[in-house]
């Protein structure tokens, strides 16, 4: 029976690529999404991957959503914590709402999503938790104190949880993408991309969502059981750790 993989933010951008890659690798995939019904329904129609709507910043919504996924498809054995938002502002102008929104969706969601599936992973002696962090969680970024705090927190989260899961057959890893050619990045003015972003990337181009997705599929595999607590940087050489 195919393992069940749940991808948060799984119907658009990097998340959509991850969902497709995991399905192609033989997983039974569920894609969570937050609010864009049109995009989610189009993704479902294109891929045949079922979509489930809930807010990952809500502990109660996550518990209910995961229960619905497991009732429909079976126990979640691979969890990809991908959902994320930005609310950028210089810190002296950042509002509490901007801070809380990003911390809630990007960091608190790790607890909300992972704890409900953790016990089952421990009981079965197998699990894969993969968190999509960011290059900015490694190096920081002006105007993103909220986002970088959350993304750096993801790296700390996987290092601690990897130690707890190791003896139970559960691996916990992070991927830190650089600039990836999603709708959000491609919406940046071309002159800004050409003059301020691409010159910082040694390979001279944006990454592709599929390049992140292939790494997720690699870390999710049964054969990746000796890789845990790792942070994989996929940024075209922009930041080398």
Active site residues: 147
Hey, which residues does 231 pair with through a beta bridge? 174
Burial tier of 183 (Cβ tally within 10 Å: 0-12, 13-18, 19+): exposed
Interior/surface letters 189-227, b for 16+ CB within 10 angstroms, e for the rest:
eeeebeeeebeebeeeebbebebbbbbbbbbbbeebeeb
Residue 234, φ and ψ in degrees, nearest 5 = -125, 85
Report the DSSP pairing between strands 28-33 and 76-81.
unpaired
Q: Using an 8 Å Cβ cutoff, are 207 and 181 in contact?
A: yes
Distance from C-alpha of 199 to C-alpha of 117, rounded to nearest angstrom: 42
Q: Using an 8 Å Cβ cutoff, are 175 and 129 in contact?
A: no
Distance from C-alpha of 146 to C-alpha of 88, rounded to nearest angstrom: 8
Distance from C-alpha of 239 to C-alpha of 241, rounded to nearest angstrom: 7
Q: Using an 8 Å Cβ cutoff, are 171 and 219 in contact?
A: yes
Report the DSSP pairing between strands 127-132 and 170-177.
parallel
């Amino acid at each position: 029976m195919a393992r069940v993989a749940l991808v948060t933010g799984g119907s658009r951008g990097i998340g959509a690529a991850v969902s497709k890659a995991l399905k192609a690798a033989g997983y039974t995939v569920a894609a969570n999404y937050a609010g864009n019904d049109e995009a989610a329904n189009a993704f479902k129609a294109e891929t045949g991957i079922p979509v489930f709507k809930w807010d990952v910043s809500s502990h109660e919504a996550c518990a209910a959503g995961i229960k619905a996924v497991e009732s429909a498809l079976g126990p979640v054995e691979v969890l990809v914590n991908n959902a994320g938002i930005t609310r950028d502002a210089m810190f002296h102008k950042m509002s509490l709402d901007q801070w809380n929104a990003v911390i809630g969706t990007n960091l608190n969601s790790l607890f909300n999503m992972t704890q409900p599936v953790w016990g089952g992973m421990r009981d079965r002696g197998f699990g894969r938790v993969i968190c999509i962090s960011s290059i900015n969680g490694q190096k920081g970024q002006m105007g993103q104190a909220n986002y970088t705090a959350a993304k750096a927190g993801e790296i700390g989260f996987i290092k601690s949880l990897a130690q707890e899961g190791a003896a139970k057959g559960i691996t916990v890893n992070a991927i830190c993408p650089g600039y990836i050619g999603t709708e959000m990045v491609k919406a940046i003015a071309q002159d800004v991309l050409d003059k301020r972003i691409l010159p910082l990337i040694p390979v001279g181009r944006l990454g592709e969502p599929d390049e992140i997705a292939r790494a997720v599929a690699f870390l999710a595999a049964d054969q990746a059981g000796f890789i845990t607590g790792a942070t994989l940087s996929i940024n075209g050489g922009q930041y080398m750790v």
